[in-house]
Amino acid sequence: MTLTNISSIKTVTSEKESFWERIAAELTAAISNGTYQPGQRLPTEHSLATQFGVNRHTIRRSLSNLCSQGLLRVNQGSGTYVEDFAVDLLLTKRTRLHQNLEQAGLKGGLQMMKSHAMVANADLAQKLKVPVRSRLLLMQTSGEAMNSPLGISERYFPLPRFAGIDTIVLQTGSITTAFKACGVADYTRLTSRITADMPNAELAGLLKQPATRPVLLVESVNVDMQGVPIEFAKTWFAGDRVSLTVNTHE
């Protein structure tokens, strides 16, 4: 093979490799200018391949790149969607989901998914300052905004003090309201521990995100005004939809 032929092959290969980048750039521009709205499903790979005059492999590479940037998400069996939004949640001594959403101009709230009684292991007993094997209520909730999940929580409450709190949350969608009904007029955040985590398949499905994308895990303890722990929670936030700001002055 001559040097001229080798040079031609390299040029053709380079051009083919740049196709996916140009398509990714055009799709990014279309998202930015509102051609594709947050939450909107993109055309199928076949339709995009026809539109751009390339094969589906090239389109797939472009979409994969935009997914890795957090601009798109793939819902298995449904299609590829523009990521909905990103919201900054403020962690303070009085962290309240509905206030965070109101400040961000978003509609949403808390959904109670399921609950059941259990016994405290050594770690939960230490967090809630209760005896090992004492009874707790475990409640799983979903914090949502604009019909998209922001975070999935496992919340633990001492029993019998908070018996029935799950029913109130189911009815009202509010932990604060439920605490008031149980005699806790006010409460504060004692600790918040933030780490990165990888979701399992079930959690990724609940958050509507790929299992390969990290999430933010917040472990927190809330106490009543006498300093008694009333709730330990583990919340997994969708990492590309949520940022967390800690305010130590409030």
Report the pLDDT averaged over residues 178-190.
Answer: 96
Report the pLDDT averaged over residues 210-215.
Answer: 87
Write down the pLDDT at residue 14: 45
CB half-sphere exposure, 125, CA atoms < 13 A: 11
Closest CA to 69 of 34, 19, 31, 15: 31
Write down the pLDDT at residue 248: 61
Domains parsed from the chain with CATH numbers: 3-82 (1.10.10.10), 87-246 (3.40.1410.10)
Write down the pLDDT at residue 123: 97
Rounded Cα distance, 195 and 220, in Å: 12
Residue 104 has pLDDT above 60, yes or no: yes
Report the pLDDT averaged over residues 66-72.
Answer: 78
Rounded Cα distance, 156 and 134, in Å: 12
